[in-house]
Amino acid sequence: MKRVVILGSTGSIGTQTIDIVRQHPDRLEIAGLAAGRNAEALRVQGQEFPNAKLALHTPANGIAGGMAALVDLATMPDADIVVVAVAGVIGLEPTIAAIQAGKHVALAGKEVLVAAGELVMPLVKKHGVLLTPIDSEHSAIYQCMRGYEPTQIDELILTASGGPFRGKKRAELERVTVEQALNHPTWRMGGKITVDSATMMNKGLEIIEAKWLFDVAVNQVRVIVHPQSVIHSMVKFKDGSVLGQMGWPNMRLPIQYALLFPERKPNALPPWSPLDNPSLTFEPLDEETFRSPAIARKSAEVGGTMPCAMNAANEEAANAFLRSETGFLAIPEIVERIMEEHSPVDVSLGNLLDVDAWARRKARVLIEAGRP
């Protein structure tokens, strides 16, 4: 029996993680649940799992709150796995604490490795803990990499659905609405990550994640468009062989793999067959229209705290777009402006938190001024 703590239990990944726990009561048990500020949803989850400890990032209704409460959950002595599914750098401190406490970390929040991969991955190695990715793309690569060393990799190939604006040109995206951006063709996700998929910034963040997870250079990570979202990503080895992982676009499968690794247990998910998709297609990424992957790649090449600044600016801009406070095409422009103003420093927890706060303040000033 593995006891699971879920940070971000009321969000999309968190609720799907709970579904996986329900499907495997003989192997998984909820030990702790944490949410951002949705006290009512957390209270309902607590009723289903009365033995679970509860925490909120924003205290309410008598539930333990604040960063210290999240860290306490992440380091519970009787917890085995900590699922990090919170948005933003909120997940950074509890992730580090969980690693230092020797916990298996199942990582869904992109920002932890994007902003702090240089800090987190050496800690994973130092403490000898297991870190399993929940992102479908990185889960696919993780599965294909079993038994192989990074030195055997020629290229990691991240697949992208193309989002709701596949085939569109920049001029056609001038007046994109929030409703249009949230109309993803294959995945059902939270608002911010769906906007990232529309701008293709999700692929930029995934490039940086892949660099840290699999110990490769950013120029070894390529993005291609695969509209069917069946091949979740591929690994090309130096002998020219390519391995890919396939399945329906359903986050429950990578969640289950991350929690039960290395076990493969039956589940209630619909199985995929090659006959279900006799025609799988691929296209190059239109980097002229969708500039965000190149922006993210540049931040990783600069290094230091630059990816942290890039990530924070993108989060502020994407959320402002969701609130109809800025335009769709302004999102990458705001990110670029913040990167131009940032002078990167060495990575430490304190520096990362300072840079994250600085980039968010700067981005909000640009948003409120109505210009990138």
pLDDT digit string, tens, across residues 316-339: 999 999 999 999 999 999 999 999
Compute CA 155 distance to the chain's CA centroid, rounded to the nearest angstrom. 21
Task: Please name the helix (run of DSSP H) or strand (run of DSSP E) that holds residue 159, with its range, or none.
Answer: strand 153-160
Checking if the pLDDT of 304 tops 70, the result is: yes
Q: Max CA-CA distance within the chain?
A: 59
Confidence (pLDDT) at 183:
85
* Residue ranges of domains in the chain: 2-134, 139-242+272-369
The pLDDT, as a whole number, for residue 132 is 97
Radius of gyration over every alpha carbon of the chain, rounded to an integer in angstroms: 20
Q: What is the pLDDT of residue 224?
A: 97
| Domain 139-242+272-369 in the same topology as domain 2-134 | no
Tokens of 22: 């329900």
How far is it, in rounded angstroms, from Cα 314 to Cα 320? 10
Would you state the pLDDT for residue 349? 93
- CATH for the 139-242+272-369 domain, from 3.40.50.2300, 1.10.1740.10, 3.40.50.10110, 1.10.1060.10: 1.10.1740.10
Q: Which tens digits make up the pLDDT trace of 178-213?
A: 899 988 777 777 788 889 999 999 999 999 999 999
pTM summary value: 0.94
Give the pLDDT score at 298. Answer: 97
**pLDDT tops 70 at residue 115:** yes
pLDDT recorded at residue 94: 96
2-134 to CATH, choices 3.40.1190.10, 3.30.930.10, 3.40.50.720, 3.30.70.141:
3.40.50.720
Question: What confidence score (pLDDT) does residue 371 get?
Answer: 59
> Mean pLDDT over residues 53-72, rounded?
91
- Asked if residue 314 has pLDDT above 80, the reply is yes
Predicted confidence band of residue 372 (pLDDT cuts 50, 70, 90): low
Task: Extract the tokens encoding 327.
Answer: 């335009």
pLDDT-derived band of residue 64, with 50, 70 and 90 as boundaries?
A: confident
pLDDT band at 236 (very low <50, low <70, confident <90, very high): very high
C-alpha to C-alpha distance for 109 and 215, rounded to whole angstroms:
19
Percent of the chain with pLDDT over 90: 87
Please write the tens of the pLDDT for every residue from 163-187: 899 999 999 998 999 899 988 777 7
At 275, which amino acid appears? L
Residue 151 has pLDDT above 80, yes or no: yes
Q: What is the mean pLDDT of the chain?
A: 94
Tens-digit pLDDT profile for residues 242-301: 999 999 999 999 999 999 999 999 998 899 999 998 899 999 999 999 999 999 999 999
Burial class (CB in 10 A: 0-12, 13-18, 19+), 276: exposed
Query: How is residue 65 annotated by DSSP?
Result: B
